[in-house]
């Protein structure tokens, strides 16, 4: 039984790691688009940006709603990454 729980915890930790990297990629791509380094008229760039937005926006939207207006600065990805790291630490402490 502990092998099953341990395996599920490993899969959850890997999924959280992957989602953190997706959040980082989304933030970097949004900066590149904002500073006109990449062009969204390119179909490949547009499809990647659309995928990253669809994957990250459902998790970031509630955080953005709760945060006060900080001008043009969006720190919701940082807050979500910190929450995910906290969740990883909790899983590690409970299972291992």
Looking at the 3D structure of the chain, how many domains does it have? Answer: 1
pTM: 0.92
CB contact burial 61-77 (16+ within 10 A = b; e otherwise): eebeeeeeeeeeeeebb
Which residue, 86, 72, 89, 93, is CA-closest to 30? 72
Low-confidence ranges of the chain (pLDDT < 70): none
Per-residue pLDDT, 69: 86
Q: What is the per-residue pLDDT for 72?
A: 84
Say if residues 77 and 52 touch (Cβ distance below 8 Å): no
Give the residue numbers spanning the domain of 39: 2-95
Q: What is the pLDDT of residue 44?
A: 96
Predicted pLDDT of residue 71: 86
Q: How far apart are CA 30 and CA 52, in angstroms?
A: 10
Q: What is the pLDDT of residue 48?
A: 97
């Amino acid at each position: 039984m502990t092998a099953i729980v341990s395996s599920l915890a490993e899969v959850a930790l890997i999924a959280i790691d992957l989602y953190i990297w997706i959040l980082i990629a989304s933030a970097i791509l949004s900066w590149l688009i904002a500073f006109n380094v990449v062009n969204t008229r390119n179909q490949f760039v547009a499809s990647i940006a659309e995928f990253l937005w669809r994957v990250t926006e459902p998790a970031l939207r509630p955080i953005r709603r709760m945060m006060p207006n900080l001008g043009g600065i969006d720190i919701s990805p940082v807050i979500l990454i910190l929450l995910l790291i906290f969740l990883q630490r909790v899983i590690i402490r409970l299972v291992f």
